[in-house]
A and B are shown apart, each in its own frame.
Chain A
Amino acid sequence: MSISNNEIDILYSFFDQIIPSSDDMPCATEAIDKKDFEILISENSKYELSIDQIIYFIKREPTSRVGGGASSLTEIQKGEILELMESIIPDDFLMFIEIVYLLYYSKSEIHEKIGWNTDELAEENKMEAFDDSILNNIKKRDPFWRKA
């Protein structure tokens, strides 16, 4: 995938519009390294066409073509561009969302904050073994499979 550093910067600058910070959660760029973004899109070809479309979309937007160009968009302008993108090129926009969400929710820091613990040995991850007393009711039912 051929994408310039400047284009990476432009796309990355939209991340916080997609996941802003809240009281207890960091915004996207606090959690996601720019390098992670570069690696994800370079290693997975399925994003290539959508990234091209998104860059093209951002660059051709009138607000991107005045002043300092796409690099100097305000946060409000970025939000407006994303809304347009969502309605005009929805499939490509969803790919962009997928990238940001995958990267954000793959971070340990985020897992800790939302209470996601995949440690098999953690006490909170122990389940009760199957108890067949729960079958007491259904066991009363006569067999009803159709003979053939």
Chain B
Amino acid sequence: MPKNLPFVDIVIVGSGASGGACAWKLSESGAKVVLLEQGDWFDQNDYPGDTNDWEIKQKNSFHFNPNIRNLSNDYEILDKNSDIHPLMYNAVGGSTHHWTAHTPRFHPSDFRVNSLDGVAFDWPISYWDLEKYYDLNDIMMGCSGINGDPANPPRSERPMPPLPLGEDGKKIAEAADRLGWHWWPSDSYQASEDYKGRVGWNNHGTFASKKQWQSVASTDITYIKPAIENGLEVRTNCAVQNISVDNAGKLTGVIYVDNRGNQFFQEAGKVILACNGIGTPRILLNSKSKIFPDGLANSSGLVGKNLMFHPYASVNGYFNEDVNYSLGPLANIIIVQEFYETDPNRNFVRGYSFQMARSNGPAHTALGTGNINNVIWGKEHHNEFKRRFKKSLGMAIISEDLPELHNRVEIDESKTDKNGIPLPKIFYKTSENTRNLLNHGMKSAEKLLLEAGSYEVNHNPLLQTAGWHLMGTAKMGEDPIHSVVNSNCETHDVENLYIIDGSVFTTSAAVNPTPTIQAIALRTADIILRS
């Protein structure tokens, strides 16, 4: 029997991008809020940088993929039936410890894809509903960037100037100018200068330096520490097994287990799930009861369905000269949105963004990254390494992914983690629309790189290892038959149960999702406080 803990107003499950933001906003109200995190605190001094073995760590203990990292706080994701491998990090701050911090916003059109293009669904909220929360989040996380982008609506003053473009970034920008294509310095939650006690980039260093990691915003620093000062209680190493309801289906709290195997029942007035597009449906589907035999909040049958990633393709270009690619941030440099919207003359709907990406360190260069095979072994090894090292850069194509029911998260009851909690199993296939879209993107990226002076390009039509963005598995909508949460992010089936991570995305857009996830989390907190 779990040990009963005294009632609290709100329990938030998950301390990443959304959980951290929501916890801070709620903590300002004086409510008793408990934040449960299955991982531990992460010491910024532990980021792999400045040591010679940083690339060994990135391939092992600091790998993006929890199945490879295999740390004690990770759970395995059964992904053999997926074209793309999901990535996440489990610690206070979640995956904001392990990201490039490339932070574009959704476009207004992204919330209306059915009305505009006749596909998927419209969101029940608009860009304008989120605008002030985007602005607030930009200040809290610390956004480097510059106003005036013609591909996006005007926005508030960026708190910091853009990160430096570097010689390679200038090559791409000038090439885009010559082609008459859109480009703009990326908005980034990497501090270009010292900001609110955080170390800034200050135009100095390689992307392998520790400063690279420390200047990137993570919610343990930006949101959770100030929230603790407001009275937030954080409990680490606590894995939630299920959400509890009474016989009438009314929410009562959560049951979780700590890292010593002790089980607790935390009674709560409200529960907010912020565990990402895989972790959240995992908890809901594991929360079966007599009254909810198919899992909690699942009367629509849509919990776990409509899993969306952002399928990525990439094109890498080689240059004769040193393009100084090791200097500056890794992938939050330039965004190109020339092909963002639907064009009826193309063989796909919706569109994509380009994200310029620097290559990586010496070992990653030798091993190949994304679109390139490893440097040949044997007699020609050194010649081939010299041809590549510091002389390549890439364009990543980030595509809009449309929701499809067969792409899904299920629970495999026969396989459990160290706490006995059944593991998530995912099924995901890219669609014909996505493949056509990515093919168009690769041709465009090749054109851009050749214009920039590249003498040779390599293509990768699908980065299997790029499952950073987990969305759609508890869809937002006003109709309880066709969605899991309403426009306030409260589940249709269970009052006082909220979801605020990427699960609630109705559609995915074609940009990195974190600012939108956090804007939704802040808005939800505001709605809860007003209620």
Nearest residue in B to A136 (C-beta to C-beta)?
B177
- The stretch of A3-11, A56-64, A65-73, A108-116 in contact with B is A108-116
List of A residues within 8 angstroms of B50 by Cβ: 118, 120
* Selected contact of B326 from candidates A102, A116, A144, CB within 8 Å: A116
Q: How far is the CA of A132 from the CA of B147 in the complex (A)?
A: 11
Choose one: A19, A105, A145; the contact of B151 (CB below 8 Å).
A145
Q: How far is the CB of A45 from chain B (nearest CB, A)?
A: 6
A142 to B149 CA separation, bound complex (whole angstroms): 10
**Residue in chain A with minimal CB distance to B382:** A22
A120 in contact with B205 (CB, 8 Å): yes
Assign chain A's interface to a size class. 35 or more
Count B interface residues, CB 8 Å.
72
Known: A97-B377, A102-B363. A148 touches B203 (CB 8 A): no
Q: Is A126 close to B, CB under 8 A?
A: yes
Say which residue of A106, A128, A130 sits within 8 Å of B363 (CB atoms).
Answer: A106
B389 touches A114 (CB 8 A): yes
- A115 and B210 alpha carbons, distance in the complex (Å): 19
Give the docked Cα–Cα distance between A20 and B380 (Å): 9
Q: From residue 175 to 210 of chain B, which have CB atoms closer than 8 A to chain A?
A: 176-177, 182-185, 192, 203-206, 208-210
Determine whether B2 belongs to the interface, using a CB cutoff of 8 Å to chain A: no
User: Is B296 on the interface with A (CB-CB < 8 A)?
Assistant: no
Residues of A within 8 A of B308 (CB): none
Is A127's CB under 8 angstroms from B164's CB?
Answer: yes
The distance from the CB of A23 to the nearest CB of chain B, in whole angstroms, is 9
Task: State the B residues within 8 Å of A (CB).
Answer: 49-50, 52-53, 55-56, 59-61, 68, 70, 107-109, 111-112, 115-116, 126-127, 146, 148, 150-153, 161-166, 170, 173-174, 176-177, 182-185, 192, 203-206, 208-211, 326-328, 341, 361-363, 365-367, 374-375, 377-379, 381-383, 385-386, 389-390
* A-B residue pairs in contact (CB < 8 Å), sample of 13: A18-B377, A20-B381, A22-B382, A44-B60, A98-B59, A114-B386, A116-B326, A132-B146, A134-B170, A138-B177, A144-B151, A145-B152, A148-B107
Partner of B374 from A94, A110, A139, A141 at Cβ < 8 Å: A94
Chain A neighbourhood of B365, CB < 8 A: 105
Contact A110 B362, CB 8 Å, known A128-B164, A129-B164: yes
Q: Is the CB of B204 within 8 A of A120?
A: yes
- Which among B126, B166, B210, B381 is the interface contact of A127 at CB below 8 angstroms? B166
Chain A residue with Cβ nearest B176: A138
* Chain A residues whose C-beta falls within 8 Å of the C-beta of B362 in the assembled complex: 105, 110-111, 114, 116
